[in-house]
Structure 1
Amino acid sequence: MKFGKSLPYIALIIGSIIMLFPFIWMLSTSFKAPMDIFSLDIIPKNPTIENYLTIFEESLFLRWFLNSLIIAVITTISVAFFDSLVGYIIAKFDFVGRGVLFLLILSTLMVPTEMLIIPWYLMSSELGWTNTFWGILFPGLMTGFGVFLMKQFMEQIPDDLLNAARVDGMSEFGIFFKVAIPQVWPALSALGIFTFLSNWNAFLWPLIVIESPKLRTLPVGLSFFSSGEAESQWHLIMTGAAISVIPLIIVFFILQKHIIKGITLTGMK
């Protein structure tokens, strides 16, 4: 290959190395003994799994992991169902106030999350949701972005296709699940993946609404583990971080085709 054609590949390789280096360093540190964590060796001279045994024995890491997984899965399912349903209704049903309703939903995207923290917390306190799973879940069960995204894709479904299903006697929910959803599956997959990632990494709201160590999510638990329980034991902190990325890697490898296609389509929209 000529140099001009090779230049983009060289740039991509360099960029990939820069992006991957922190992850590789994190993984390497998780297998190092405490006295070796500041060495410059990428491959540990004396690798050990003692860090992994310690983090499971001396903390509630497994409980935090399961908490984050439960919250991320429930929120993703809720967002995928309700956002696509609302998007379908706004896109394909003509009713009074449809435009106003859509504008109100879009307006929620203009409000920074930090401004919503206090109203969320006051509502949680009045309803007794603080220090509960429901307190973590309720702000993210529906999203304005998801409604907007799904509405844009639902509008591309031909009305004749939906009317043909109605003529055949299919119910509206049947049309939604069996006709509309398959047509927008790439966008729905992308929405689900983005929702899972954002809730798996959520930190600020779970930190505020949860007090019990047993109900902490993984990012919150790791932050307390790094600042209090493990102090500056970076080998344990890196071990916890390395384990926390496993579900994200699994999700990516299983759904990477949907991720790429979904990002492409949402970019086009």
Structure 2
Amino acid sequence: MSTDTRGGLLDGVSLTNTRLRTIALYVGLYGTAALFLIPYWYMFATSFMTRELVYSETPYLIPWEVTTYWYQYLIDNSLIGMWTVNTLILAGITTLFVIVVDAMIAYSLTRLEWPGRRVIFGVIVASFMVPGIINLVPVYIIASELGLVNSVWGVVLPSAANPLGVFMLVQFFKDIPEELEEAARLDGFSRLRVFSHIVLPLMRSPLAALGLFIFIWTWNSFVWPLLIFQRETMYTLPIGLVTLQDNLGVTEPGVIMTSAVIASVPLLLVFLVMQKQLVQAVEMQGTTK
């Protein structure tokens, strides 16, 4: 009596060409993702390494001795805590302000009849062709004349009417059926109430996606905040980390890696929280006719 031991766990598994292609696709995607993650993991791991491991000739992806020395070093020798709070406040205010202003502009361009709105929209689209650096000097002069230097509003106000945000929201507003607004107005809703109670809730995902873009852009801004904020206590993280690396981090890789972790982790957390809304915004735009 003979026993056939062939097969085993693979009994019933058919590796068709389609399945093989799917497996190869996933292997390629996960492999590429791992390659992108290696530098970030090394940055994170280095921030917890001892000085001996940091300066070792052999790179370590997993430190066998963990320390929080570099974080304590930054806290004791810099204003990084204050810079982080400044950046959070600035990014939060700018994001909220841009969402409100851009939503009102986009709504007026798509739903209200007023002379010159097509021209205004054309100017907004054409502004994409103008490099932002060209406006740097005239906008700074205006901000200085208005007394906005060393003020949060000096950074927030020039970003309020964001052309990208207006253009993006206009496309979404066009996809909202006008019949919903007409029905609301028949029920006695004012234009402002229609905007706040009907339109904005339907635009939750696009507004969240725009907010994510604006938050990240503001968090990483360097040149304009550097011009407006002229006191060290008002610096944002990008400005503070540059001055920090000039003063402390030239010969200290641990300082550079730790400061990079502090600057990038909040953005990662925000993205993880908002990624569902971002995906829904993309799906919403892709499925509307």
Of residues 197, 204, 215 in structure 1, which corresponds to 2:234?
Answer: 215
Q: 2:53 — aligned with what?
A: 36
Aligned counterparts, 1:1-269, within 5 A: 2-39=19-56, 40-265=59-284
Q: Which has the higher contact order (CA 8 A, sep 6+)?
A: 1
Distance 1:108 1:134, change over 3 A: same
TM-score, normalising length from structure 1? Answer: 0.94
Cα distance change, pair 91–207 in 1 and its aligned pair in 2 (3 A): same
Moved more, 49-58 or 225-234: 225-234
Whole-Å separation in 1 of the counterparts to 2:247 and 2:281: 40
**Greater mean alpha carbon deviation, residues 56-65 or residues 254-263:** 254-263
Does the 8 Å contact 2:206/2:278 carry over to 1?
Answer: no
Q: How many residues align?
A: 269
Q: In 2 relative to 1, CA 140–232 (structure 1 residues): closer, same or farther, beyond 3 Å?
A: farther
Distance in 2 (CA, whole Å) between partners of 1:25 and 1:116 is: 39
Q: Following TM superposition, by how much is the alpha carbon of 1:264 offset from its aligned partner in structure 2, in angstroms?
A: 4.2
The CA deviation at 1:231 is: 3.1
Counterpart of 1:62, as a letter, is G
**C-alpha displacement at 1:114, in angstroms?**
1.5
**Alpha carbons 2:155, 2:228 under 8 Å: kept:** yes
Return the TM-score normalized by structure 2.
0.87
- Percent sequence identity over aligned pairs: 33
Shift of 1:98: 1.2
Deviation at 1:265, TM superposition (A): 4.3
- Post-superposition CA distance 1:7-65 (Å, at most 9, x none): 21111112101211111011011011233214411111221011111111110001100
Aligned partners of 1:268, 1:116: CA distance in 2, in Å? 37
| Bigger mean CA deviation after superposition, 142-151 or 131-140 | 131-140
Classify 1:264/1:233 alpha carbon distance in 2 versus 1 (closer, same or farther; 3 Å): farther
List gaps (5 residues or longer) in structure 1.
none
- The DSSP-based 3-state class of the residue aligned with 1:245 is helix
In structure 1, C-alpha distance between the alignment counterparts of 2:37 and 2:150, rounded to whole Å: 36
Q: If you compute each CA radius of gyration, which structure gives the higher value, 1 or 2?
A: 2
Moved more, 258-267 or 128-137: 258-267
Contact 1:37 1:235 in 2 (8 A): yes
SS at match of 1:142: coil
Q: 8 Å contact 1:203–1:219 — kept in the other structure?
A: yes
Cα distance, 1:232 vs structure 2: 2.8
Partners of 2:36 and 2:281 lie apart in 1 by: 22
